[in-house]
């Protein structure tokens, strides 16, 4: 039995249905990331776990006890917010002690616990400052500290890194992951950033349109996307989708007049069926690995470590990622190679992946 059980939870605001019978089970010590574009319902779900919103239907259970009818404070859950939500009038110490104070913990115990957590997060020297005197990264730490002092069963993070600049974001990402490894607490983490999801999660729930599109480990999500949405949402640059027609033998696929072998992971579509072939940009190469494919080079975008090459294949725009220093000219037509052993195909109508 999972530690946190989200069981057919729906939420409507007036006539708009934001979540549609979402079910997710989370094991103790897991790091679950809810990822999706804005408006997909991920924050709504998080707020319902926290108790800040009531589900329209469905149940939420924590350690087998139903919590969806409890006050937030009775759920033994802590949350870190995007804006950090530090209380402006209180010092860092008072901010961190606040949950303990509300729980009626003695002054001495408050102090001891706050000091312990402050040491863990290396913010002892900030304890007497007000939030306004802290940098973004420091505020972030204090917000986590305030969550940690309660020793909750479950941590919720609502886009905690999106207000930080790019470099700090990467550092804090590492730090949160380290903290998770050290403390082994269950975490539910909401983000719209697929890189954050891939790097931090033990499991990812990709959400869109109020539904969980796919729930799985980062590797499963990346290597076996359940549908075209997941395939294109996870990964940057996004997976290319090329219209293709299934070959007669069930082992090939036609992209325009070019014939490519079907990946072993893909189910054989019926002859002549129109599908979408998924090609990740990094599968392209000029070293002869995989199957040959002819493309017109439109634009070169060096990024430093890589070169992004914008191609036209059969009239479709396709993005390829090649190593830095690759010699290539825009405006020419040339033969690339592409490794197809993980290439999925998708039903052109439903968007669902067709796996063998």
Partner 1 sequence: MRKLRGLAPQLTLLPSLILVAVTVYGFIAVTMVLSLTKSRMLPRFDRWEGFDNYARVWNHPRWEVAMENFAIFGILYIGGTLFIGLLLAIFLDQKIRAEGALRTIYLYPMALSFIVTGVAWQWIMTPDLGLERAFQIWGWDSFEFDWITQSEMAIYCVVIAGVWQASGFVMALFLAALRGINPEILAAAKMDGASGPSMYWHVIVPALRPAFLTAIVVQGHLAIKSYDLVVALTGGGPGFSTELPSTFMYEFTFSRNEMAVGASSAVMMLVLVMILIVPYLYSELRDGDR
Partner 2 sequence: MATARNRASFERGFVYLVLLLSAAFFLMPLIAMIFTSLKSMPEITGAAGFENNTILTPPKEPSVAAWGAAWSSACIAVACEGLRSYFWNSVLMVVFAVAISVMLGAVNGYVLSKWRFRGDNIVFGMLLFGCFIPFQIVLIPMARLLGILDIAGTIPGLVFVHVCYGIPFTTLFFRNFYVTIPDELVKAARIDGAGFWSIFFLILLPISTPIFVVAIIWQFTGVWNDFLFGASFAGADARPLMVALNNLVNTSTGTKTYNIDMAGAMIAALPTMLVYIVGGRYFVRGLTSGAVKG
Place of tokens 């790097």: 199
Site for partner 2 (CB under 8 A): how many residues?
Answer: 24
User: Considering the complex, what minimum distance in angstroms separates the CB of residue 167 from partner 2?
Assistant: 24
First to last CA, the chain: 30
Cα 207 to Cα 218: distance, rounded to the nearest angstrom: 14
When asked if residue 65 is in the footprint of partner 1 (CB under 8 A), the reply is no
Chain residues 50-89 in contact with partner 2, contact rule CB under 8 A: 50-52, 71-73, 77-79, 81-83, 85, 87-89
- Both structure tokens of 37: 């574009």
Question: Nearest approach, Cβ of 101 to partner 2 (angstroms)?
Answer: 8
Question: Considering CB distances under 5 to 8 angstroms, the limit depending on partner class, which of partner 2, partner 1, none binds residue 70?
Answer: partner 1
Q: With beta carbons less than 8 A apart as the criterion, state whether 254 and 247 touch.
A: yes
Span 121-160, contacts to partner 2 by CB under 8 A: 146, 150
CA distance 146 to 117: 9
How many whole angstroms separate alpha carbon 48 and alpha carbon 17?
Answer: 14
Q: Which partner, partner 1, partner 2, none, binds residue 127 by CB below 5 to 8 Å per kind?
A: none
Binding of partner 2 by 216 (CB under 8 A):
no
69 binds, among partner 2, partner 1, none (CB under 5 to 8 A by kind): partner 1
Residue/partner pairs of 281-284 with CB below 8 Å, 24 or more apart? 281/237, 281/239, 281/240, 281/308, 281/319, 281/320, 281/321, 282/321, 283/338, 283/339, 283/340, 283/342, 283/343, 284/309, 284/320, 284/321, 284/322, 284/336, 284/337, 284/338
Binding region for partner 1 (CB under 8 A) out of 3-11, 67-75, 213-221, 286-294: 67-75
290 binding partner (options partner 2, partner 1, none; Cβ < 5 to 8 Å by kind): none
Instruction: From 266, 227, 224, select the one nearest 247 (Cα to Cα).
Output: 266
Residues 6+ apart with CB under 8 A from 218: 197, 198, 201, 203, 204
Site for partner 2 in 231-270 (CB under 8 A): none
Given partner 2, partner 1, none, residue 82, with its beta carbon under 5 to 8 Å by kind, binds: partner 2
Return the residue matching tokens 């325009």: 256
Candidate residues 41, 99, 218, 290; the one interacting with partner 2 per rule CB under 8 A: 99
Q: Which stretch binds partner 2 (CB under 8 A): 17-25, 96-104, 170-178, 291-299?
A: 96-104
Q: Which is nearer to partner 2, 190 or 231 (CB)?
A: 190
Residue-wise burial string across 70-105, b where 16 or more C-beta atoms lie within 10 A, e elsewhere: eeeeebebbbbebebebeeeebbbbbbbbbbeeeeb
Among 70, 82, 232, 314, binds partner 1 (CB under 8 A): 70
Indicate the residue among 87 and 355 with the shorter CB distance to partner 2.
87
CA distance to 3, 17, 152, 237, per residue, from 65 (Å):
10, 26, 15, 43
Rank residues 69 and 109 by Cβ distance to partner 1 and give the closer one: 69
98 binds, among partner 2, partner 1, none (CB under 5 to 8 A by kind): partner 2
Residue 68 or 93: which CB sits closer to partner 1?
68
DSSP annotation of 56 reads S
Q: Is the dihedral of CA 249, 255, 259, 262 positive or negative?
A: negative
Choose which of 27, 28, 69, 223 interacts with partner 1 (CB under 8 A).
Answer: 69
Please say whether the beta carbons of 228 and 276 come within 8 A: yes
Q: Which residues bind partner 2 (CB under 8 A)?
A: 47, 50-52, 71-73, 77-79, 81-83, 85, 87-90, 98-99, 102-103, 146, 150
Q: Which residues bind partner 1 (CB under 8 A)?
A: 69-71
């Amino acid at each position: 039995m999972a530690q946190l059980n989200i069981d057919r939870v729906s939420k409507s605001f007036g006539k708009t249905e934001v979540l549609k019978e979402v079910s997710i089970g989370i094991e103790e010590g897991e790091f679950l990331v809810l990822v999706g574009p804005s408006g997909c319902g991920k924050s709504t779900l998080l707020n319902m776990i926290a108790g800040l919103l009531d589900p329209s239907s469905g149940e939420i259970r924590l350690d087998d006890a139903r919590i969806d009818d409890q006050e937030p404070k009775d759920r033994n859950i802590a949350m870190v917010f995007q804006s950090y939500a530090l209380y402006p009038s209180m010092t860092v110490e008072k901010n961190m002690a606040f949950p303990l104070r509300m729980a009626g913990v003695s002054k001495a115990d408050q102090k001891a616990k706050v000091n312990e957590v402050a040491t863990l997060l290396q913010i002892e020297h900030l304890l007497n400052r007000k939030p306004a005197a802290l940098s973004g990264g420091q505020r972030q730490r204090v917000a986590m500290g305030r969550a940690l002092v309660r020793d909750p069963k479950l941590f919720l993070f609502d886009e905690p890194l999106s207000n930080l600049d790019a470099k700090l974001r990467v550092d804090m990402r590492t730090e949160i992951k380290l903290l998770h490894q050290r403390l082994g607490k269950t975490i539910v983490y909401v983000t719209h950033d697929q890189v954050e999801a891939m790097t931090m999660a033990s499991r990812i729930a990709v959400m869109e349109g109020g539904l969980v599109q796919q729930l799985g480990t980062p590797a499963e999500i990346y290597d076996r996307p359940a549908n075209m949405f997941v395939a294109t949402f996870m990964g940057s640059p996004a997976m290319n989708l090329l219209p293709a027609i299934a070959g007669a033998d069930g082992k090939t696929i036609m992209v325009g007049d070019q014939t490519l072998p079907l990946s072993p992971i893909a189910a054989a579509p019926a002859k002549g069926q129109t599908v979408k072939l998924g090609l990740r940009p990094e599968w392209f190469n000029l070293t002869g690995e995989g199957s040959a494919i002819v493309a017109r080079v439109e634009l070169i975008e060096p990024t430093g470590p890589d070169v992004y090459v914008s191609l036209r294949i059969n009239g479709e725009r396709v993005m390829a990622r090649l190593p830095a220093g690759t010699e290539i000219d825009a405006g020419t037509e040339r033969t690339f190679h592409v490794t197809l052993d993980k290439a999925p195909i998708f039903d052109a109508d439903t968007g669902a992946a067709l796996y063998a």
